[in-house]
Amino acid sequence: MSTVATQKKKTRIKPPRHSSDMSLDETWRRLSNNIREIFAQNAANLSFEENHRFGYNLVLGKQSEKLYEGVKALIVENLQKMVKEKLIPAFPTGVRSDIISRAKEGEELLKAFRYVWDDHESGLCKLRDILKYLDRVYAPAQRLPVIYDAGVLLFHKHIIEPPIEEHLVDAVLDEVRVERDGFAINQSAVRGCVEVLCLLGEDPRSPSVYIEKLEPPLLNESRKFYEAEGKQKLESSSAPEYLTHVDKRFTEEILRAQRYLISQITPLLQEILEETLLAPHLTAVIYMPNSGMDSMIDTDKIQILTLMYKLFKRVVTGIPLIRKALKESIIRRGGEINLNAEFDAAEEPAGCEGSPKGKGKTKPRATGSQTLQQALKWVQDVLDLKDKFQRIWSEAFNSDRDLETAIAEGFEGFINTNPKAPEFISLFIDENLKKGVKDKTDLEIDIALDKTITVFRYLTDKDVFERYYKGHLAKRLLLGRSVSDDAERQMLGKLKVECGHQFTQKLEGMFNDMKLSSETMEGYRSHLERTTAPSVVISVIVMTSTYWPSTANVPCTLPEVLVKATKSFEKHYLSKHSGRRLTWQPSMGTADVRVQFKSRKHDLTVSTIALVILLLFDDLKEDDFLTYEEIRTATNIPNNELSRNLQSLACAKYKILKKHPPGRDVNQGDSFSFNNDFTSSLQKIKISTVSSKVESTEERKETHDRIDEERKHQTEACIVRVMKDRKHMAHNDLINEVTRQLIPRFQPNPMDIKKRIEGLIEARKFPSQIRENILSDVRIGSRTTTWLEARRAVSICTFA
CATH number for the domain including 170? 1.20.1310
Distances (CA, A) of 726 to 273, 762, 794: 58, 20, 17
Query: pLDDT tens digits for 25-68?
Result: 899 999 999 999 999 988 888 899 999 999 999 999 889 999 99
Verify that 467 and 432 share a domain, yes or no.
yes
Across the range 78-95, mean pLDDT stands at: 88
Query: pLDDT tens digits for 605-635?
Result: 888 888 888 888 887 877 788 899 988 999 8
pLDDT of residue 565: 87
pLDDT of residue 132: 93
Among 151, 185, 206, give the residue marking a domain's end. 206
Verify that 346 and 485 share a domain, yes or no.
yes
C-alpha 384/C-alpha 172 separation (Å) is: 55
Quick one: pLDDT band at residue 239, thresholds 50, 70, 90? very high
Collapsing DSSP to helix, strand or coil, 626 comes out as strand
| Residues with Cβ within 8 Å of residue 151, at least 6 apart in sequence | 72, 75, 120, 123, 124, 127
C-alpha 680/C-alpha 781 separation (Å) is: 67
Can you give the residue range of the structural domain that contains 129? 69-206
User: Which residue has better confidence, 689 or 426?
Assistant: 426
Q: What is the CATH number of the domain that holds 365?
A: 1.20.1310.10
**CA-angle at 418, arms to 551 and 433, nearest 5°:** 55
- On the question of pLDDT at 329 being above 50, the answer is yes
- On the question of pLDDT at 3 being above 50, the answer is no
Q: What is the CATH number of the domain that holds 615?
A: 3.30.230.130
The region, left, alpha or beta by phi > 0 then psi within -120 to 50, assigned to residue 44 is: alpha
Tell me which amino acid residue 700 is.
Answer: R
- Do the domain assignments include residue 173? yes
- On the question of pLDDT at 348 being above 60, the answer is no
**For every residue of 31-52, which 3-state class applies, written as one string?**
HHHHHHHHHCCCHHHCCHHHHH
Distances (CA, A) of 256 to 109, 266, 488, 568, 684: 20, 9, 64, 96, 83
Tell me which amino acid residue 374 is.
Answer: Q
* Residue of 279, 348, 216 whose CA lies nearest to 696: 348
Verify that 527 and 463 share a domain, yes or no.
no
Q: Look at strands 590-596 and 601-607 and give their pairing.
A: antiparallel
Q: What is the CATH number of the domain that holds 741?
A: 1.10.10.10
Across the range 267-292, mean pLDDT stands at: 94
Quick one: pLDDT band at residue 437, thresholds 50, 70, 90? low
- Do the domain assignments include residue 260? no
Q: What is the mean pLDDT of the chain?
A: 83
Distances (CA, A) of 192 to 80, 111, 118, 567: 21, 8, 10, 109
Verify that 741 and 769 share a domain, yes or no.
yes
- On the question of pLDDT at 363 being above 90, the answer is no
pTM for the model stands at: 0.74
Q: Quick one: what percent of the chain has pLDDT higher than 90?
A: 38
| Residues with Cβ within 8 Å of residue 502, at least 6 apart in sequence | none
| Residues with Cβ within 8 Å of residue 224, at least 6 apart in sequence | none
pLDDT of residue 778: 32
- Do the domain assignments include residue 194? yes
Asked whether 146 and 153 are in contact (CB, 8 A), the reply is: no
| DSSP codes of every residue in 582-618 | ----GGG-EEEEEEE-SS-EEEEEEEHHHHHHHHHTS
The C-alpha R_g of the chain, in whole angstroms, comes to 49
pLDDT of residue 186: 93
Tell me which amino acid residue 701 is.
Answer: K
pLDDT of residue 535: 82
In this structure, what DSSP letter does residue 439 have? T
Quick one: pLDDT band at residue 384, thresholds 50, 70, 90? very high
- On the question of pLDDT at 15 being above 90, the answer is no
Query: pLDDT tens digits for 476-535?
Result: 888 888 888 888 888 899 888 888 888 888 888 988 988 898 888 898 888 888 888 888
pLDDT of residue 476: 87
The 10 Å CB-count burial string (b at 16+, else e) for 255-290 is ebbeebbbeebbeebbebbbebbbbebbeebbebee
Verify that 612 and 534 share a domain, yes or no.
no
Across the range 373-379, mean pLDDT stands at: 87
Question: What angle, 0 to 180 degrees and rounded to 10, lies between the N-to-C axes of helices 64-82 and 24-39?
Answer: 30
pLDDT of residue 781: 29
Query: pLDDT tens digits for 164-200?
Result: 889 999 999 999 999 999 999 999 999 999 999 998 8
Verify that 373 and 424 share a domain, yes or no.
yes
- Do the domain assignments include residue 381? yes
Among 586, 619, 642, give the residue marking a domain's end. 586
Quick one: pLDDT band at residue 260, thresholds 50, 70, 90? very high
Verify that 498 and 352 share a domain, yes or no.
yes
Which range has the top average pLDDT, 245-254, 354-363, 370-379, 537-546?
245-254
pLDDT of residue 265: 93
- On the question of pLDDT at 541 being above 60, the answer is yes
Strand partners, 799: 787
Least confident of 95-104, 279-288, 651-660: 95-104
pLDDT of residue 461: 84
Verify that 478 and 339 share a domain, yes or no.
yes
- On the question of pLDDT at 84 being above 80, the answer is yes
In this structure, what DSSP letter does residue 770 have? H
pLDDT of residue 173: 94
pLDDT of residue 33: 93
Q: Quick one: what percent of the chain has pLDDT higher than 70?
A: 86
Asked whether 498 and 457 are in contact (CB, 8 A), the reply is: yes
Collapsing DSSP to helix, strand or coil, 580 comes out as coil
Handedness of CA 411, 416, 421, 425 (dihedral sign): positive
Verify that 706 and 669 share a domain, yes or no.
no
pLDDT of residue 398: 93
Query: pLDDT tens digits for 139-153?
Result: 999 999 999 999 999
| Residues with Cβ within 8 Å of residue 696, at least 6 apart in sequence | 347, 348
Query: pLDDT tens digits for 686-706?
Result: 886 444 456 667 666 777 777
Verify that 579 and 600 share a domain, yes or no.
no
- Do the domain assignments include residue 12? no
- Do the domain assignments include residue 147? yes
Domain count for the chain: 5
C-alpha 727/C-alpha 377 separation (Å) is: 50
C-alpha 760/C-alpha 767 separation (Å) is: 9
Verify that 521 and 510 share a domain, yes or no.
no
C-alpha 505/C-alpha 496 separation (Å) is: 9
In this structure, what DSSP letter does residue 350 have? S
C-alpha 466/C-alpha 498 separation (Å) is: 13
Query: pLDDT tens digits for 467-476?
Result: 888 888 888 8
- Do the domain assignments include residue 311? no
pLDDT of residue 578: 82
Among 485, 516, 547, give the residue marking a domain's end. 516
Across the range 729-747, mean pLDDT stands at: 81
- Do the domain assignments include residue 20? no
pLDDT of residue 699: 67
Verify that 553 and 576 share a domain, yes or no.
yes
C-alpha 209/C-alpha 218 separation (Å) is: 13
Asked whether 513 and 541 are in contact (CB, 8 A), the reply is: yes
pLDDT of residue 557: 87
pLDDT of residue 130: 93
